[in-house]
Amino acid sequence: MTKMNILEAPFVKEMMEVTANMYRLGWDERNGGNVSYLLEEEEVANYLDLTNVKRVIPIPFDGEKLAGKIFIVTGSGEYFKNVINHPERTLGIIRISQEGNSVELLWGYSEGGIPTSELPSHLMSHMARLEVDPENRVIMHCHTTHLLAMTFTHPLNERDFTRTLWQMCTECLVVFPEGVGIIPWIVPGTTKIGEATSNKMKETRVVIWPHHGVYGAGKDIDETFGLIETAEKAAQVFTYVRAQGEILQTITDEQLAALGKGFNVEPHEGYLEV
């Protein structure tokens, strides 16, 4: 059967578009940030011969729980600004080997590239989110400017940090009622940071890496991008509010509780004083 052009695949186009937007917004300078997207074997088979493995790439992680799963992943060292014009070089479609200690390259990384150095963190977070919600397919990491800035000026307490974001924009509690997770500063690209992130991912879809950036999870590219976008907007408003001076009023806990009831979402237990 004749395969369709992989560059016309919706999942490739989505990766091209979202990385361009993330770069445009200043979230992913240079080669900062990475995205992984769990694909259905059936949809990939329309575009690729799944028996044709281009390369086998070892990974420093035991991914056996994801054996056979197929992902499209941004490449290590690749600039997001280049993805839109060079997807075959900057992106790769990989399948986790049955042993879990390597990935099989099905397409992409055309100039000898490899998956992002944060692949262990992505795979661990995918495993954590799939346990909570089998429909979660996307993990996205970026360096959102205002959330990053907040980690220098705001207490790194999950309850307080979440409440501040909820109070900045009415939509925040509706978009992430479970709040945000925060891990300690850890060297990136390690299994240690992956383990810390994935542990938080069992409870929340937004995890803050202090002085570094944010991890987000969702069912698709739009939901995950929108989740991070909403938290970042709230952090931006917080930045402006702090610059303007004294806070004279904000959304009250009673109003946040009413908001939750109005949109049928349950705020994180104990985060509201009502």
Catalytic residue list:
118
With a CB cutoff of 8 Å and minimum separation 6, the contacts of 189 are 117, 118, 120
DSSP-derived letter for residue 213 is E
Tokens of 89: 């070089």
- The answer to whether 154 is a known ligand-binding residue is no
Nearest alpha carbon to residue 221 among 9, 4, 5, 6? 9
Other C-beta atoms lying within 10 Å of the C-beta of residue 31: 18
**Residue 272, by phi and psi: left (phi above 0), alpha (psi -120 to 50) or beta?**
beta
Using a 10 angstrom Cβ sphere, with 0-12 exposed, 13-18 middle and 19 or more buried, the burial of residue 111 is: exposed
Tell how strand 138-142 and strand 181-182 pair up: unpaired
- The answer to whether 143 is a known ligand-binding residue is yes
- The answer to whether 122 is a known ligand-binding residue is no
**Feature table: binding site:** 141, 143, 212
Give the annotated binding-site residues for Zn(2+): 141, 143, 212
